[in-house]
Structure 1
Amino acid sequence: MVTKHLTRLQFVQDGPAVEGEWAVPGTAQDRYTEWVGLYGTGSTMVIQLIEETDGRERVRRKWTAQGEVEGPTS
């Protein structure tokens, strides 16, 4: 079982993404926090912290104009 930690930045929901991938969860968390600080005020921004295991993604945190959602999302 291989787990990757991703941070994904989209300027519009379901649009093209900028993504980083790390083996260490703390590094992905730091990048998520940085991107929220830099880009989080945009009205259409979506920033996600994702855990991927064997190709299956689980969103751990998600930032949109409405604020942050923590924990798994469907």
Structure 2
Amino acid sequence: MGGVAAIGEPGRLACLALAGAVVLPARDPEGVRAAWRSLPEDIEVVILTAWAAEVLGPVEDRLTVVMPVGER
């Protein structure tokens, strides 16, 4: 079974680290794209913040889940 990673704003990802996800925080669009490119091969599911999903656009390499927009 593969792992889970999360990409997006640092403040939105803290709880996912506690759950064991590989957390790849990004502060700007290039950071989001760099995090996506750096995903380890054993990652099967990627949780994206709504902002990170918007930056990446459609992706097909892995199963992705977009977090609902919450308070910032």
TM-score normalised by the chain length of structure 2: 0.38
Structure richer in strand, relative to its length = 1
Structure richer in helix, relative to its length = 2
The structure with the larger Rg is 1
Q: Which has the higher contact order (CA 8 A, sep 6+)?
A: 2
